[in-house]
Amino acid sequence: MFLLTSKHVLTLPALVQVCVPSPEFLRLWLVEGKRLIRILRGNQLTLRKLKLAVGSEVCVQKLQCEENLGLKDILLRLQVGVAKDEVGVSEESAYFHTHEFVWEAGIDSSPRGLYHVVSTHCGISPENLLLAKHLPEQHSWITINYGIQSVSKQKKKKQNKSNSKGVNLQGAPYCLRDGDTIAVKNLLIDSNREFGTGKNEHTLKEQSSVLLEALSCLTGLTVEPHTDSTGLGIDIGELTVHNLVSSALLPLILSKEDVKEPQPEQPKELRVNLDTFYSPTFNYDFRALTDDSVCTRGGESYKRPCGWFRFALKVLGKYPDGDAWLGTGGWRSGSVSGEWPVSYHGTGREGQNQLTGMREPYDYGIFSTPDIKLTEQDGELHKEFTSKTGKSYRVIMQNRINPEHRVKKSDSLWLVRIPLEVYALTDEKKRKEEMKKILDRSIRPYGILLREV
Select the highest-mean-pLDDT range: 12-16, 169-173, 263-267, 289-293.
169-173
Confidence of residue 164 (pLDDT cuts 50, 70, 90): very low
CA–CA distance, 444 with 259 (Å, rounded to integer): 23
Residues 408-413, mean pLDDT to the nearest whole number: 90
Q: Are residues 216 and 181 in the same domain?
A: no
How many Å from the N-terminal Cα to the C-terminal Cα in the chain?
44
| Within-domain flag for 213 | yes
End of a domain among 18, 38, 62?
A: 62
Percent of the chain surpassing pLDDT 90: 36
Judging by DSSP bridges, how do beta strands 140-144 and 26-32 pair with one another?
Answer: unpaired
Helix (H, G, I), strand (E, B) or coil at 94: coil
| Within-domain flag for 184 | yes
Looking at residue 181, its pLDDT comes to 93
* pLDDT for residue 203 is more than 60: yes
Q: Are residues 178 and 104 in the same domain?
A: yes
Mean confidence (pLDDT) of the chain? 79
* pLDDT for residue 150 is more than 90: no
Q: Are residues 104 and 149 in the same domain?
A: yes
> Which residue did the predictor score with more confidence, 301 or 268?
301
| Within-domain flag for 91 | yes
* pLDDT for residue 44 is more than 60: no
| Structural domain count of the chain | 3
Confidence of residue 7 (pLDDT cuts 50, 70, 90): low
Looking at residue 33, its pLDDT comes to 66
* pLDDT for residue 6 is more than 90: no
Q: Are residues 182 and 224 in the same domain?
A: no
Looking at residue 363, its pLDDT comes to 65
Percent of the chain surpassing pLDDT 70: 74
* pLDDT for residue 125 is more than 80: yes
Q: Are residues 219 and 259 in the same domain?
A: yes
Looking at residue 38, its pLDDT comes to 86
Cβ-contact 402, 338 below 8 angstroms: no
| Within-domain flag for 68 | no
Q: Are residues 252 and 343 in the same domain?
A: yes
Render pLDDT for 333-392 as a digit per residue (tens, 0 to 9): 889 999 999 999 865 433 333 344 444 545 678 888 999 988 887 777 788 999 998 999
DSSP character string of 348-370 = -SS-TTTTGGGPPTT--EEEEBS
Q: Are residues 217 and 352 in the same domain?
A: yes
* pLDDT for residue 280 is more than 50: yes
Q: Are residues 185 and 259 in the same domain?
A: no
Helix (H, G, I), strand (E, B) or coil at 201: helix
Cβ-contact 245, 420 below 8 angstroms: no
Looking at residue 288, its pLDDT comes to 81
| Within-domain flag for 236 | yes
Q: Are residues 285 and 175 in the same domain?
A: no
Q: Are residues 282 and 392 in the same domain?
A: yes
Cβ-contact 363, 410 below 8 angstroms: no
CA–CA distance, 334 with 161 (Å, rounded to integer): 32
- Which residue range(s) make up the domain with 126? 73-196
List phi, psi (to 5°) of 105. -65, -20
End of a domain among 167, 196, 225?
A: 196
Looking at residue 388, its pLDDT comes to 92
Residues 70-82, mean pLDDT to the nearest whole number: 89
Looking at residue 161, its pLDDT comes to 45
Residues 211-223, mean pLDDT to the nearest whole number: 92
* pLDDT for residue 311 is more than 90: yes
Q: Are residues 270 and 418 in the same domain?
A: yes
Looking at residue 247, its pLDDT comes to 84
* CATH code: domain of residue 180: 3.10.20.90
List phi, psi (to 5°) of 150. -80, 90
| Within-domain flag for 118 | yes
End of a domain among 62, 84, 108?
A: 62
Residues 59-64, mean pLDDT to the nearest whole number: 86
List phi, psi (to 5°) of 404. -75, -20
